[in-house]
Amino acid sequence: MAVRAVRGAVQLERDEAGHMAERVGDLLTAVLERNGLTADDLISVWFTATPDLHSDFPAAAARGLGLVDVPLICAQELDVEGAMPRVVRVLAHVESDTPRTGISHVYLGAAAGLRKDIAQ
């Protein structure tokens, strides 16, 4: 079984904990479903959030989905002028037999504009 990395992002409409949990939950669910993965395939997950998000940790959404034994970490995204606001990004390390070229990276809603080259 190979180790693969899956990228994704979602833009929030507002900085509220419940909204963050919902949208990050949608993102993680889509990452798993589109790549035929289960929670047992996850090695670790990194989250970044833009500096304008303060209401909660994105990792809290993962815990809410039942990912209780997966190492998670959150960090702040660089504060670059002109960058898309209210974005949570994810980098999941997974065990998968899928070739690197077959991995589906997931960019939901307006965040699809961040990586048009790999967004599915």
Written in H, E and C, the secondary structure of 99-110 is: CHHHCCEEEEHH
Mean pLDDT across the chain, nearest whole number?
95
The fraction of the chain above a pLDDT of 70, given in percent, is 97
- Please tell me the least confidently modeled range out of 83-87, 109-113, 114-118: 114-118
Query: What is residue 55's predicted lDDT score, i.e. its pLDDT?
Result: 97
Task: Band the pLDDT of 45: cuts 50, 70, 90.
Answer: very high
| 35 Cβ contact partners less than 8 Å away, ≥ 6 residues apart | 6, 94, 96, 98, 103, 104
Query: What is residue 118's predicted lDDT score, i.e. its pLDDT?
Result: 63
The answer on pLDDT for 119 being more than 60 is no
The fraction of the chain above a pLDDT of 90, given in percent, is 90
Burial of residue 102 (CB within 10 Å: 0-12, 13-18, 19+) is: exposed
